[in-house]
Structure 1
Amino acid sequence: MMSRAVARLLVLAGLAAGGAYVLLPLVPDSLLPARAQTQAGQHDHSASAKPILYYRDPSGAAAWSAVPTRDAAGRDYIPVHDADEPPLAGVTPKPPAANATRKLLYYRNPMGLPDVSATPKKDPMGMDYVPVYEGDEPNDGKSVKINLSKIQRSGVRTEPAAARVLVRPVRGVGTVKYDERRLTTVTIRSEAYVEKLFVNTTGALVHAGDPLFRIYSKEIQLAQVDLNVATSAQSRGVGGLSLQTVDGAMQKLRNLGVPERHIEEVRTKGISTRTIDWISPANGVVIEKKIVNGQRLMPGDELYRIADLSRMWVIAEVSELDLPAIKEGMHAAVTLRAYPNDPLEGIVTFIYPDLRAETRTARVRIELDNRGGRLRNDMYAEVMFHAGADEAPKVSVPESAIIDSGSRQIVLVAREEGRFEPRDVKLGAHGQGYVEVLNGVVEGEAVVTAATFLIDSESNLNAALKSFTAPEAAP
């Protein structure tokens, strides 16, 4: 009697002080006044009519909380209700139903076990069974539905499939080489003796027409005499010599490699010099020198090798796996180790038909302009090929959207109202964090790019429930 009287006094005192709601948890419902019970029932009904999914940062920052809290400035987090939840990217939300009240179907095990109940209950660990409302029940297996609050808390993100140009970088290492088409060898075609060298060092820069060395050759000497005799006889009109005879004598000198300007000088002036200056046939740098002063030369001896350095090659080594992505005519960025901050742009002009057995790499030739003279033979270079830059746009999705089980690849297509449909896809080229989808997804469909394994696990859970629980067993 005393305790019941004390409780009643406390209730009356709390009501008088305006603190009835604070003291309600401490007093049994049978001791509450009828007005207080009515107000509490009305408050609970209004709160349940608009459930709170989570609380967001009042400043708009990417911060959320499952329970009421405050930021560093002491401001309360703003509650976000079901109707305020923003839709996923690329998904058009359905208009709200006319009747917002949903029918409670049954309660399922919170751990995902195949156990349902028609009434609220707890599992052996003391966890409440999860209510399943109409529209949230396990479906026909073609899609999976997840509560919007769980989607938000789990960080599910989506992105529409779109047509993109997929540029995939392919790396290789290379070496700078001379352009083989710009190499010239200097030889003579008769026996001769070197009387003077004009270019006597390797690395010397020469121009076409510059004298390289001076020689005496008996055969060239006799050919000059024949041309003088033919020219003189033709001019006097004796011996029956014709123009063809003069041309034949000139051709003999050409066959011996005598420069054309020297032949013309012999024909017009009627001279026959004992020695002749051999001139450079091309512009470039002397990269090999095999001649010394006083040397006896034999026909076919290689005396100089001259390289035109205005264009150079880079021979790049590319992995056998990356070879299908390399095409002739594609651009490549070449970074020399001597100039790491100044890459050069080149063009792939040839892919060699063989592989190196030791490294399983293919050789790719890239041509570079070298009018600045920075490229030197045997320099090391790093090569970056822009594979796919010249191809048409392809329907692609982010690589993070792919669930790869090894035998199959799946993406999760976002539908309306938190539904996600798994799709088998066939993949193509990769590039810049995206992958081409050959079939399974069309342009514009939204795919899940983050928290895919959460949805995948939920799908597996629904499949387990469906296999253990018949649809008609649900209350």
Structure 2
Amino acid sequence: MNRLVLACAGVALIAAAGGGLVAAAFAADGHHAPIFYQDPDGKPDYSPVPKKTADGRDYRPVSADDDTPAASAAGARSNTGGGNRKIKYYRNPMGLPDTSPVPKKDSMGMDYIAVFDGEDSDDGTVKLSPGKIQRSGVKSEPAARRVIRNVIRAPGTIQLDERRISVIAMRSESFVLGVANITTGSHVTKGQRLMEIYSPAIASAAAEYIATITSKTTAGDGLYGRGSRQRLINLDMPDAAIAAIEKTRNVPTSVEWDSPRDGIVLERSAVEGMRVQPGGVLFRIADHTQVWALIDIAERDLGAISLGQSATVRARSFPGRDFTGKIAVIYPEINKETRTARLRIELPNPEELLLHDMYVDAEISIGSDAPVLAVPESAVMDTGSKQAVFVDKGQGRLEPREIKLGQRGDGYVEIRQGVAEGEPVVVSANFLVDAESNLKAALKGFSEGSKP
């Protein structure tokens, strides 16, 4: 009997010595001392001292560093002064409404997660352990004031300035006697000869004017011949031709027609010998030194656009070259098919590189130079009808808070309401935090609904 007692005592001393050796080995390896021992096959069988299985295998030592529910629970109790925090239950790791009073695994071998007293409190915060925060990559960044700029990019086409187009048409029946060596696409200057025409109406008015100014009848020097001269002006006779009549006092048999502006000939209908009816267009000339860029922007961007705003236009034919202009007109209609609004950007074009109907891409910088309270876009949880962020309250407590957003740009979004300057918000892994809070809310509702 004494020998049996001595033998049992020897085994206990050896086990204790072995446990000390294991603890020393863990400490030397940089780990905490084991807090209990678990079945080597992962079964929910635990021992406070070293133990062997029926087939002689050692139980696995578990320290507070191990990522298991039981280790987390034991570590939490040891960190709070020996069991102040108690485990209420273990919840399913996949969020299913299944709890257990003891550690267990689900059908896929995943450990159930321990839920402690106070973790499901009603203070509106989500509580995560430091280990879970580190493993999930949760990071916070304080809300700060920043200058937010954004760029609206939209396609468009080049159009001629309607105010810089001239049409040369006859106001009376006329005949084209000759046409200058000018074709469609030619560049002409103001006063350059375009054609020579004969008009019976102009010839008759010129004869009347000469007769009037050469008459010896006095009707007052100021009014003398004014009606006849006005008739020539009404027939669109060039000023130079009228001046020649006044100088030579001869009725012209033909009249030379000059270009009224500098520009490019868009259309030439005049042919030598042709007869022209009143209103017949013979030339169309456009000035290309200033053009319009008609840009279609998305309807959602219309509120950020204002008249006089600067815009940069790039033509696909001239890569790397910028043309700068200002928004002159915001057309008062929305295209119901494309849901776009049209802008007119007036562009100087002194080299006449931008041509009619050319495709261009416009960039319009929007935003204010004044700094605004902003957070990274990754911090915002958008449900469609609401936007929220998680505010880091410290010690693993994350508070969901509804916010009001403003402008966006450069990877940041303006916060107009809900967060104060300097408050840290979660900027990464917030979807995991949101999933954690949803799981806890679902489990709490399930447990409360199952109470009798």
Q: Establish whether residue 455 from structure 1 lines up as the match of residue 438 from structure 2.
A: no
Residue in structure 2 matched with residue 370 of structure 1 by the alignment: 349
Q: Cα offset for 1:322?
A: 4.2
Q: Cα offset for 1:358?
A: 4.7
Counterpart CA distance in 2 for 1:341 and 1:310 is 21
Q: Establish whether residue 242 from structure 1 lines up as the match of residue 220 from structure 2.
A: yes
Counterpart CA distance in 1 for 2:404 and 2:177 is 76
Matches within 5 A, 1:59-458: 104-107=84-87, 108-109=89-90, 111=92, 122-123=103-104, 137-233=119-215, 238-243=216-221, 244-386=223-365, 388-390=366-368, 393-458=371-436
Counterpart CA distance in 2 for 1:32 and 1:189 is 121
Percent same amino acid at aligned positions? 38
Matches within 5 A, 1:14-53: 29-31=12-14
Counterpart CA distance in 1 for 2:139 and 2:421 is 18
C-alpha spacing 1:428/1:390, structure 2 compared with 1 (3 Å): closer
C-alpha spacing 1:38/1:178, structure 2 compared with 1 (3 Å): closer
Q: Provide TM-score, normalisation by structure 1.
A: 0.70
* Counterpart contact for 2:91–2:100, Cα < 8 Å: no
Counterpart CA distance in 1 for 2:153 and 2:16 is 81
Matched pairs, number: 392
Counterpart CA distance in 2 for 1:320 and 1:407 is 20
* Counterpart contact for 1:190–1:298, Cα < 8 Å: yes
* Counterpart contact for 1:206–1:285, Cα < 8 Å: yes
* Counterpart contact for 2:91–2:115, Cα < 8 Å: no
* Counterpart contact for 1:400–1:449, Cα < 8 Å: yes
Q: Cα offset for 1:221?
A: 2.4
Q: Cα offset for 1:392?
A: 5.1
Q: Cα offset for 1:344?
A: 2.8
C-alpha spacing 1:366/1:101, structure 2 compared with 1 (3 Å): same
Q: Cα offset for 1:288?
A: 0.7
* Counterpart contact for 2:165–2:287, Cα < 8 Å: yes
Q: Note the residue ranges of structure 1 that are not aligned, 5 or more in a row.
A: 8-26, 52-80, 82-98, 471-475
C-alpha spacing 1:102/1:305, structure 2 compared with 1 (3 Å): farther
Cα-to-partner distance string for 1:86-136 (whole Å, 9 max, x where unaligned): xxxxxxxxxxxxx9958632125264678687xxx63356988878889x7
Residue in structure 1 matched with residue 69 of structure 2 by the alignment: none
Counterpart CA distance in 2 for 1:102 and 1:273 is 120
C-alpha spacing 1:177/1:102, structure 2 compared with 1 (3 Å): farther
Q: Note the residue ranges of structure 2 that are not aligned, 5 or more in a row.
A: 36-64, 66-78
SS at 2:394 equivalent: coil
* Counterpart contact for 2:265–2:285, Cα < 8 Å: yes
C-alpha spacing 1:454/1:359, structure 2 compared with 1 (3 Å): closer
* Counterpart contact for 1:105–1:132, Cα < 8 Å: no
Counterpart CA distance in 2 for 1:127 and 1:270 is 112
Q: Cα offset for 1:277?
A: 1.0
Q: Which amino acid aligns with 1:106?
A: K
Cα-to-partner distance string for 1:294-335 (whole Å, 9 max, x where unaligned): 122232221111000001112223344444444333333333
* Counterpart contact for 2:105–2:111, Cα < 8 Å: no
Cα-to-partner distance string for 1:242-291 (whole Å, 9 max, x where unaligned): 32123333323222222223323322343433222111111101101111
* Counterpart contact for 1:145–1:419, Cα < 8 Å: yes
Q: Provide TM-score, normalisation by structure 2.
A: 0.73
Superposition RMSD in Å = 4.0
* Counterpart contact for 1:104–1:133, Cα < 8 Å: no
